[in-house]
């Protein structure tokens, strides 16, 4: 499985350009960021090319998909993010869906579906895959609407576009529902990307309750051809932690 470094987790103070150089030096060839609005796109692109590191994903700019009142704002942010992804060479976008508005759950789910249906032609025209993300509501994202991986898979199945998928964050789903391997392997066609962290604490993979060697091996053997983003907050020096992750898992 290919490993990707989620840069803001490991280098909160460093420039992304400097972070790319550091991860390339220890053997990583892929990375991700969250927000892109405040970066110098050309400088970041130059750093990626210079160090032979691929940017796998960035986030959209608006996360309110489950409220029809914000549909235009979400689609506008999507269009901007598609252009930014194209400029940076990223083929994937991650979007959260928004906080639970308190309205009927089916109503909110339908709003997500409608937004994704509108987004599909934009994504297809640009060759960009959009991934919705279930998150845990116990520790990190209280009040968030989409906590169930099953619900996420049901939504993208209904949208029925090869450019609308799910990013399965193993850490979040371990907190929320467990049953990690079955939930991934039974829905592998809808998983475009993985994220991982050790639970509890959202820390180094080997410090948590999951055996990621088993998880990664089973997913690889099932035919998964994507990557896994290391999206954790290291318990030690960032580079030491990334070196250790590479030794154990990749």
CA 222 vs CA 1, 15, 108, 190, 247: distances in Å = 12, 37, 33, 13, 23
Q: Are 97 and 112 in contact (CB under 8 A)?
A: yes
Q: Are 119 and 158 in contact (CB under 8 A)?
A: no
Check 133, 209, 225, 247 and give the catalytic one. 133
Q: Can 225 be counted among the known catalytic residues?
A: no
Bridge partners, 167 (sequence order): 193
The pair of structure tokens assigned to 215 is 């998880």
Q: Can 231 be counted among the known catalytic residues?
A: yes
Q: Where are the beta strands (DSSP E) in the chain?
A: 2-6, 30-32, 54-59, 92-95, 129-132, 164-169, 191-196, 227-230
CA distance 250 to 246: 5
CA 169 to chain centre: 7
Helix axes 238-249, 212-221, angle to 10 degrees: 50
Check 114, 151, 209, 231 and give the catalytic one. 231
Q: Which residues are catalytic?
A: 133, 231
């Amino acid at each position: 499985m290919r490993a990707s470094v989620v840069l803001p987790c490991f280098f909160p103070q460093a420039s992304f350009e400097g972070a790319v150089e550091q991860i390339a030096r220890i053997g990583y060839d892929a990375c991700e960021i969250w927000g892109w609005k405040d970066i110098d796109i050309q400088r970041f692109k130059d750093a990626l090319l210079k160090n032979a590191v691929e940017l796998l994903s960035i986030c959209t700019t608006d996360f309110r998909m489950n409220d029809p009142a914000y549909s235009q704002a979400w689609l506008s942010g999507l269009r901007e993010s598609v252009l930014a992804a194209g400029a940076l060479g990223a083929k994937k976008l991650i979007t959260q869906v928004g906080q639970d508005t308190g309205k009927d759950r089916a109503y909110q789910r339908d709003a997500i579906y409608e937004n994704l249906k509108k987004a599909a032609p934009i994504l297809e025209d640009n060759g960009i895959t959009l991934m919705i993300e279930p998150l845990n509501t116990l520790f990190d994202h209280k009040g968030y609407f989409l906590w169930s991986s099953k619900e996420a898979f049901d939504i993208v199945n209904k949208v029925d576009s090869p450019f609308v998928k799910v990013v399965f964050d193993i850490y979040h789903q371990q907190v929320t529902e467990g049953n990690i391997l079955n939930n991934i392997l039974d829905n592998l066609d809808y998983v475009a990307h993985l994220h991982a962290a050790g639970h509890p604490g959202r820390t180094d993979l080997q410090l948590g309750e999951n055996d990621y060697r088993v998880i990664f091996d089973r997913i690889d053997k099932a035919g998964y051809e994507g990557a896994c983003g290391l999206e954790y907050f290291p318990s030690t020096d960032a580079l030491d932690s990334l070196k250790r992750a590479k030794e154990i898992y990749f």
